[in-house]
Structure 1
Amino acid sequence: MRKERFSESAEGTARKIVPVNGREAALLILLQIWEERAYTAIALNRVLRQTKLEEQDRRFATELVNGSVKARGTLDFILGQMVNRPLQKLEPVVRYILHLGLYQIFYLDRIPDSAACNESVNLAKKFSHKGTDKFVNGVLRSSVRQKMALWEKTLEDVSLRLSHPRWLVQRWRKQFGEDETEALCCWDNEPASLCLRVNTLMTARDVFLQDLREMGCEAEVSLWCPDGIVMTRSPGLPALLQTFPHSFYVQDESSMLPAQLLQPKAGEQILDMCAAPGGKTTHIAALMENRGRVTACDIYPHKLKLIEENAKRLKLDNIKTELQDGTVLREEWIEKFDRVLVDAPCSGLGVLRRRAEARWTKKEKDLRDFPALQQRILENASRYVKYGGVLVYSTCTLEDRENGKQIELFLQNHREWKQSGFIHPRSKEVVKELQLYPQRDGVDGFYLTLLQKE
């Protein structure tokens, strides 16, 4: 069998190997997530797109990746009980092979413990150096023998039981209380539903829904957005994209709301300040019936390319990308735009269900940096809006300092702006801001408000 060797950093190596089964795919994806800091969803799509795996293997790889990423803290705790060295001293590929094996042993009842051990040993033989297979075999078989005792230890610690870092559990307990914190963590740990936003430039939602059902899919309309569809059964995203390449964009329900609230009109000049990867940008462009101009900004050229690719796939040609740092004022844009969207960089604590790795990569001290950054972007955005124009501010976090408090401070310093009332998408009541909580609303956590310049 051909050996695949990884360096300590595994930098780029995982991208060069084509996996032959679901476990190999999962291992390569974990290396990209933890060693190259890739988003879970992006790494999954990147690796699986390059394979010829059967659908069953693809689903198994996805389950292994999402599960082991979410349970990383618990898996590391169990692993720490089994080895007599710091986990950071383990070769990365070995650590993730053990993560996958432990996840199958402790979380997947349908997988025999013997199969989890044997297949992990095969991974070690193929992807690590000689002798590692014996180490992996010893660790996993020992964990099987101590399974009940180890599992009881994890249940005694609330952060291990809920698969969230301790600092975050404690923070949410202060904000929401014990019961809601548990409900929120449980929400994050469930598989995320596949949500599609219909490209209304190409088709109507009812028509597309019927097309999906004729394909054998099961789907229902979103209760939050008139362009949204929630899939309950599908053949998988690759098959959907192959069959309907121009008809939809994968987007969370709550993420569809900012463009809807912005209410862009055909022929207007619209600015999307923090646009990548382009979900809200393309939504705005479609709502404008492909007429007028959407200027989409980001600070990274490769992310602008992603926006352009999405626009091309959806057949939208009224989008212009600009390499622009939102914290830097662009003089020629002052009072140029009818409407501006600020989907601000944030701590992202409302979308941990979909960005599974983020719960482990974020630190509590990092939360302090976002309000100042958001304030600078919002300050510049406000200057780009024409008098009489509007600005939508949104985030995907649950932190009030990044949401309501941020807007309160902005309005104190800008008397020419006011919050405008808008219709709540579910209750139909008039509100001035909307904070969605997963454990209460059943969708990703999101904040948005509508501001008008007088």
Structure 2
Amino acid sequence: MKNARKLCVDILNTVFSNEGYSNIILRNELKKNSFNDKDKALITEIVYGTIKYKYTIDKILNSFLKKGIESLEPYVLNILRSAIYQIRYLDKVPTFAAVNEAVEIAKKYSSVSASKLVNGVLRNYIRDSEKTYYNKNNLVESLCFNYSFEKWLVNLFMKQYGGKITEEILSGLNERPVTSVRVNPLKINYDEAYEELERLGYDIEEGYVCPEAIIINKGKNIEDNQLFTEGKITVQDESAMLVAPALGFCEELKIFDLCSAPGGKSTHISELSNDKAQIIAFDIHENKLSLIKENAFRLGINNILCRQMDASTFNEDLKDIADAVLIDVPCSGLGIIKKKPEIKYTKNNKALEDIIQIQRKIMLNSIKYVKPNGTVIYSTCTLNKKENMENINWLIENYPNISIEPIYFGNLPNLIYENGMVTILPNKYMDGFFIAKLKRNW
């Protein structure tokens, strides 16, 4: 079996070389190696924490390396990153243990000289713990360092939301995410599911905003739970759980979900319609349609038809057919950074601009697919206003026969309502998200 901290470095190496998402790589590695629950928890904490605080950690390391972090081989750099994270952010990990493990990993898997460098840098950091790494009189630099976000992203949020809400966003995106599950009323009622989870030893509470939600504070992997395997519950963030209810009454309706995989929102619509709505779930990747089918089968849902289609390319055969269309469009993902922290470093301003053109093509197609007086639900898991309300405003300016149908999910501190649309700020319970409801008036 691999050493736990060695595996952390291996995973970080893979993630920072842009070879995959941290959640997928981590899950696969933990499956391949037989670690106990304590070690799994430590590996998960170190991996996610090091990725989350990479910007801050690199600022620290650069101050102790004459030639900067660029002078280090990636493996040694990731040994240092993971060790600094443990020393700075994990109270339960003894400093000497973090240093000794880092030195040994460097010696065994890199070189003796690398182990000496690692030892020297970490000892210097510990000795100079009061050192200042940024201009404390500069708000942007302070936010960047304290919350570990790059300047372009902090500046984007500052410009769009102002200082107070920007700090709320950064704090929310650094929260440790909880697991929330959606109770499937086709198979079990809410109280029965709640009581069964308690009986199985889970530390749970009622959902933050959604009546179908149960929050899992502590317990074993929920996907290994009998309630999950029997389709009585399914994992979904509460922000995403708000999309299907925004449709309103949906029994007997024909509904298109244009960007459906893995099918969380399609299956939620099915549950809300008592499995009576006619749902066609589309995705650009044919291989991902199997995920929708698997989820529908597990949940006991029979009314979802899956088709492969590029939502950004207009399909004449679908014109004026649907009663409602859901478009959870591809986006920058800035609202789900707490679950995929590498998004902090893999996105940039150009990537954000490029995705907007795809989003607008999907929006225009969706409007053509609904019948007159039909409904379109537009949602994203980003907080970039250009991908959210600015897209909606652009659509209405160019197509005045489209109107916004106001939506309201209650008076909660992280929900911002503006012109009938809702922006969901990230917190412990919810991802950053945006939802708008549109009506075709011709």
User: What TM-score does the superposition give when structure 2 sets the normalisation length?
Assistant: 0.88
Give, in angstroms, the shift of residue 37 of structure 1.
Answer: 3.9
Please show how residues 135-154 of structure 1 align to structure 2 within 5 Å.
Answer: 135-149=117-131, 152-153=132-133
Which residue identity does 1:117 align to in structure 2?
V
Q: Tell me, in whole angstroms, the C-alpha distance in 2 between the residues paired with 1:314 and 1:348.
A: 27
Corresponding residue of 2:72: 90
Please show how residues 333-412 of structure 1 align to structure 2 within 5 Å.
Answer: 333-412=318-397
Paired residues of 1:398 and 1:446 also in contact (CA < 8 A): yes
Paired residues of 2:61 and 2:68 also in contact (CA < 8 A): no
Give secondary structure in 1 for the equivalent of 2:242: helix
Report the CA distance shift for 1:286/1:122 in structure 2 as closer, same or farther (over 3 A). Answer: farther
Paired residues of 2:228 and 2:234 also in contact (CA < 8 A): no
Higher relative contact order, chain-length normalized (CA < 8 Å, sep 6+): 2
Give, in angstroms, the shift of residue 89 of structure 1.
Answer: 4.7
Give, in angstroms, the shift of residue 129 of structure 1.
Answer: 5.4
Most deviating of 44-53 and 67-76: 44-53
Give, in angstroms, the shift of residue 393 of structure 1.
Answer: 0.8
Count of matched residue positions in the alignment of Structure 1 and Structure 2:
433
1:53 is matched with which residue: 28, 31, 35?
A: 35
Give secondary structure in 2 for the equivalent of 1:390: strand
Q: Tell me, in whole angstroms, the C-alpha distance in 2 between the residues paired with 1:280 and 1:123.
A: 44
User: Does structure 1 residue 192 correspond to structure 2 residue 177?
Assistant: yes
Which residue identity does 1:398 align to in structure 2?
L
1:224 is matched with which residue: 206, 209, 212?
A: 209
Which residue identity does 1:446 align to in structure 2?
F
Corresponding residue of 1:39: 21
Paired residues of 1:390 and 1:450 also in contact (CA < 8 A): yes
Q: Tell me, in whole angstroms, the C-alpha distance in 1 between the residues paired with 2:263 and 2:76.
A: 36
Give secondary structure in 2 for the equivalent of 1:450: strand
Report the CA distance shift for 1:138/1:317 in structure 2 as closer, same or farther (over 3 A). Answer: farther
Most deviating of 188-197 and 136-145: 136-145
1:235 is matched with which residue: 215, 220, 225?
A: 220
Which residue identity does 2:133 align to in structure 1?
K
Give, in angstroms, the shift of residue 300 of structure 1.
Answer: 2.6
Which residue identity does 1:392 align to in structure 2?
I
User: Does structure 1 residue 284 correspond to structure 2 residue 284?
Assistant: no
User: Does structure 1 residue 256 correspond to structure 2 residue 241?
Assistant: yes
Give, in angstroms, the shift of residue 424 of structure 1.
Answer: 2.9
> What 5-or-longer segments of structure 2 have no aligned partner?
none
Q: Tell me, in whole angstroms, the C-alpha distance in 2 between the residues paired with 1:188 and 1:83.
A: 29
Q: Tell me, in whole angstroms, the C-alpha distance in 2 between the residues paired with 1:183 and 1:422.
A: 23
Q: Percent identity?
A: 33
Report the CA distance shift for 1:237/1:87 in structure 2 as closer, same or farther (over 3 A). Answer: farther
Report the CA distance shift for 1:86/1:316 in structure 2 as closer, same or farther (over 3 A). Answer: farther
1:312 is matched with which residue: 276, 294, 297?
A: 297
Paired residues of 1:421 and 1:430 also in contact (CA < 8 A): no
Task: Give the ranges of 4+ consecutive aligned residues of structure 1 lying more than 6 Å apart after TM superposition.
Answer: 427-431
Paired residues of 2:63 and 2:133 also in contact (CA < 8 A): no
User: What TM-score does the superposition give when structure 1 sets the normalisation length?
Assistant: 0.86
Q: Tell me, in whole angstroms, the C-alpha distance in 1 between the residues paired with 2:2 and 2:184.
A: 35
User: Does structure 1 residue 446 correspond to structure 2 residue 428?
Assistant: no
Q: Tell me, in whole angstroms, the C-alpha distance in 2 between the residues paired with 1:50 and 1:318.
A: 36
Report the CA distance shift for 1:180/1:409 in structure 2 as closer, same or farther (over 3 A). Answer: closer
Give, in angstroms, the shift of residue 112 of structure 1.
Answer: 1.9
Give, in angstroms, the shift of residue 154 of structure 1.
Answer: 5.0
Which residue identity does 1:445 align to in structure 2?
G
Deviations 1:227-250 (A, max 9, x none): 111122223335436875522222
Report the CA distance shift for 1:63/1:206 in structure 2 as closer, same or farther (over 3 A). Answer: same
Give secondary structure in 2 for the equivalent of 1:452: strand
Q: Tell me, in whole angstroms, the C-alpha distance in 1 between the residues paired with 2:33 and 2:303.
A: 34
Q: Tell me, in whole angstroms, the C-alpha distance in 1 between the residues paired with 2:283 and 2:12.
A: 27
Q: Tell me, in whole angstroms, the C-alpha distance in 1 between the residues paired with 2:226 and 2:46.
A: 23
Q: Tell me, in whole angstroms, the C-alpha distance in 2 between the residues paired with 1:270 and 1:187.
A: 33
Corresponding residue of 1:16: none
Which residue identity does 1:408 align to in structure 2?
N
1:99 is matched with which residue: 81, 84, 89?
A: 81
> What 5-or-longer segments of structure 1 have no aligned partner?
1-18
Corresponding residue of 1:133: 115
